[in-house]
Amino acid sequence: MEAGTSVGLEETPEEMMRKIDVAVGTMRAARVKIKVKPGKDVAYVAAIRARYPDLRLQVDANAAYDLFDSRHRAALKELDRYELMMIEQPGRNDDILDHARLLADLATPVCLDESILHARHARQAIECWQRYSLLCNLVINIKPPRVGGYLEAIRIARLCHNHGVPVWCGGMLESALGKACNIHFSSREEVTLPGDHISQGPYFREDVAQSLPCRDGRIELPEGIGWGLGEVRF
């Protein structure tokens, strides 16, 4: 199964590129996500594209853009030039409607993350994109802890799959056990894009288990009973 990584926002594009080089050259991540915000977006993406024109790249704004600010919308529109997989959560968490209505002119798909807390929100997003935009320009990031667990995550994934909306599984600083759960969830047929399953450094000084190994941007799911982590320490 393909595994992606997320790179935090840095002070300069040059500092960002050092982490991108590790993600591409050392980790061989299947896709790379970077954080952006107004003023630290287009130049960063342009630098990455200049060095890695074919990299599967997406950006995550964590609700940093004001969708009613024409300058912010212009910056998001500028990102269309760089063939991104998606722009994740550009606007406020509670603005499902405004994401569909005000960003309908973007060629780059918009991914909703913090906006989606349960299947009802996913249904509302699908209906908004059907009315105001194009359904092919909607992506949903499912974070099982955020939506209340894996049962609701599966409901959302099935709903999106039935409407042709791509989904992926993001991370929330889980332990090795939590990451393993997300990896197994990501192996479902409804989850079609690489998730945030590998990182350049450990989240915890002392974890409950060893994470599943990643080689050349892929994680092999263990067979048999259990999550495949071996010994888990509590």
Q: Which residues are catalytic?
A: 35, 143
Can you tell me the distance from the alpha carbon of 3 to that of 99, in angstroms, rounded to the nearest whole number? 27
- Angstrom CA distances, 14 to 10, 17, 116, stand at 9, 5, 33
Instruction: Give every CB contact of residue 146 below 8 A, 6+ residues apart in sequence.
Output: 114, 116, 117, 172
Rounded to 5°, angle at Cα 15 from 14 and 19: 110
Burial class (CB in 10 A: 0-12, 13-18, 19+), 158: middle
Q: Would you say 61 and 36 are in contact if contact means Cβ atoms under 8 Å apart?
A: yes
| Residue 6 tokens, joined | 């997320």
| Residue 97 tokens, joined | 């409607």
The strand ranges marked E within the chain are 3-7, 32-35, 57-60, 87-88, 110-112, 138-142, 167-169, 195-198, 214-215, 218-219
Can you tell me the distance from the alpha carbon of 1 to that of 41, in angstroms, rounded to the nearest whole number? 29
Strands 214-215 and 218-219: what pairing?
A: antiparallel
**Per-residue DSSP letter, 200:** S
